[in-house]
């Protein structure tokens, strides 16, 4: 038998290559802005700079939670390419203005504007990639590359900023941010994107803004995905908020903090590299739940570590724990796009990705304050244990919500559609309605999951198609 030809890399797809490049340059600009914003806050507020940055972080999360669904509700009126380019230009404008501010409230207003534009750009970008790469394996590789881009940005942008600060003042870093967003806008504008599936507008802006949340509430595997996002936020908040306190509690110098954060990033990178091959042999449910189940175990070990006196073994154990958390978080976050794609009709992908973007950041809005406020009051061991318990409860809820037998095709009964309805072309009379089967998602013809409220349900096998597009 002749050797099977290797699948071409996804970067050979010109449309995806330009979109991925736009993502990378925008992320680099964002990383430079993060460093510059810290220095700007110190210039304006002095010793109150941590409070300024903490408020800016809260504003970022509030913008993500509130803006993404609202933008998606009206985004179908604007071509996606124009929406994404306009968001990049808005971010560039906000970054260009930041060096000119002299008051704390001005920083907060511009941060909200910048993050609101990000909340418009990111879901639109995420909803476009499944249409550019309809093959499941290609899409999985794209998700891994996106995760790698985020992780490498968090590792490399501070190093790039440090190098630039040796030759320019910190306000020049905002120039790099502006250049990154302008380059992203140019790449998006120059890219011919697939036409989105037609959207049937029903209800007002409020109804359409809530569509994504309704999809998550009605779809078992999406409810499970949201619970897993909460588990990731619980563990990730310990790393991102409490690393300084944990490291100094082990009598390590300040220079050890970036080393610990680097271990977290390294674990995430390694997991993202391994996931495409792993997901060819295991289901999304198996990978996500297995990864999430690691988080409470590791956090329990960290709680013990922080309650014990520092010893020679403490530092390598902490590095291993942070790497394990990074790998587990990546293994949950990276395949999440596959779950959203499988569970949503093409026309509803923007609403679904916006809902996940908003709801997942809502999880961080809960866990960030827990990790930050609980530690000074209750101590690190109890804080880590509490967030570990939250991760455990969230993982258990996900396992209960996501059926172990979760087929692609579901046979179901339509008691509400009249005879001759176009959706019933392949249906047959059965009892008090019409029975047929297809790739099942919540949409205008399917308002609840089969099997609930006595609805008849039959399943046929565990299909794992090469393309996750809805066949309807």
31: CB partners within 8 A, 6+ apart: 153, 154, 156, 157, 158, 160, 161
Higher local confidence (pLDDT), 86 or 155: 86
For residue 311, which phi and psi values (nearest 5 degrees)?
A: -140, 175
Best CATH choice for the domain 1-136+152-195 from the list 1.25.40, 3.30.2410, 1.10.1660, 1.20.1250:
1.20.1250
Half-sphere exposure of 231 (CA within 13 A, CB side): 35
Q: How far apart are CA 168 and CA 132, in angstroms?
A: 40
Domain segments of the chain as ranges:
1-136+152-195, 210-405, 409-459
pLDDT digits (tens, 9 = 90+) for 278-312: 988 899 999 999 999 999 999 999 999 999 888 88
In this predicted model, which residue has the larger pLDDT, 75 or 100?
Answer: 100
Given a cut of 60, whether residue 204 has pLDDT beyond it is no
467 forms beta bridges with: 135
Alpha-carbon distance 24 to 33, whole Å? 14
> What CATH class does 210-405 carry?
mainly alpha
What integer is the mean pLDDT of 105-111?
86
- pLDDT tens figures, 17-46: 998 899 888 888 887 887 787 678 777 877
pTM: 0.78
Mean per-residue pLDDT, 39-68: 74
Query: Which pLDDT score, from 0 to 100, does residue 134 have?
Result: 84
Residues 14, 321: Cα–Cα separation, whole Å: 39
Average pLDDT over residues 380-391: 95
- Mean pLDDT is lowest, of 30-34, 72-76, 337-341, for 72-76
- Res 196: pLDDT: 63
């Amino acid at each position: 038998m002749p050797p099977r030809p290797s699948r071409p890399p996804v970067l050979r797809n010109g449309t995806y290559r330009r979109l991925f490049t736009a993502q990378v340059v925008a992320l680099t600009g964002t990383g430079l802005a993060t460093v510059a914003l810290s220095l700007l806050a110190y210039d304006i507020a002095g010793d109150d700079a941590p409070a300024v940055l903490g408020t800016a972080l809260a504003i970022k999360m509030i913008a993500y939670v509130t803006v993404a669904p609202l933008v998606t509700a009206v985004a179908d009126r604007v071509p996606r390419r124009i929406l994404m380019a306009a968001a990049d230009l808005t971010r560039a404008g906000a970054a260009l203005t930041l060096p000119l501010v002299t008051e704390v409230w001005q920083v907060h207003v511009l941060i909200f504007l910048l993050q609101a534009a990000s909340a418009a750009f990111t879901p639109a970008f995420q909803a476009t990639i499944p249409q550019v790469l309809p093959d499941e394996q290609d899409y999985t590789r794209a998700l891994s590359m996106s995760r790698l881009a985020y992780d490498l940005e968090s590792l490399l942008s501070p190093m790039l900023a440090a190098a630039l600060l040796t030759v320019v003042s910190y306000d020049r870093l905002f120039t790099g941010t502006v250049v990154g967003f302008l380059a992203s806008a140019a790449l998006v504008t120059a890219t011919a994107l697939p036409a989105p599936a037609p959207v049937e507008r029903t209800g007002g802006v409020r109804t359409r803004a809530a569509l994504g949340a309704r999809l998550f509430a009605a779809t078992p595997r999406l409810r499970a995905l949201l619970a897993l996002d909460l588990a990731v936020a619980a563990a990730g908040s310990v790393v991102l908020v409490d690393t300084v306190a944990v490291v100094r509690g082990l009598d390590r110098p300040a220079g050890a903090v970036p080393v610990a954060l680097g271990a977290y990033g390294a674990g995430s990178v390694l997991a993202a590299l391994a996931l495409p091959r792993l997901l060819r042999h295991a289901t999304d449910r198996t990978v996500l739940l297995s990864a999430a189940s690691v988080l409470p175990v590791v956090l329990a070990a960290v709680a013990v570590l922080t309650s014990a006196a520092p010893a020679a073994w403490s530092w390598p154990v902490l590095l291993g724990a942070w790497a394990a958390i990074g790998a587990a978080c990546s293994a949950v976050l990276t395949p999440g796009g596959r779950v959203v794609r499988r569970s949503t009709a093409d026309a509803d992908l923007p609403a679904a990705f916006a809902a996940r973007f908003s709801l997942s950041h809502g999880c961080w809005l809960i866990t960030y304050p827990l990790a930050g406020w609980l530690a000074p009051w209750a101590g690190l061991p109890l804080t880590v244990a509490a967030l570990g318990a939250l991760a455990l409860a969230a993982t258990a809820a996900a396992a209960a919500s996501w059926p172990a037998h979760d087929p692609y095709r579901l046979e179901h009964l339509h008691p509400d559609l009249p005879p001759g309805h176009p959706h019933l072309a392949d249906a047959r009379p059965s009892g008090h309605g019409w029975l047929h089967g297809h790739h099942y998602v919540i949409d205008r013809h399917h308002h609840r999951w089969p099997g609930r409220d006595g609805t008849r349900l039959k399943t046929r096998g565990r299909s794992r198609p090469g393309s996750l597009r809805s066949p309807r």
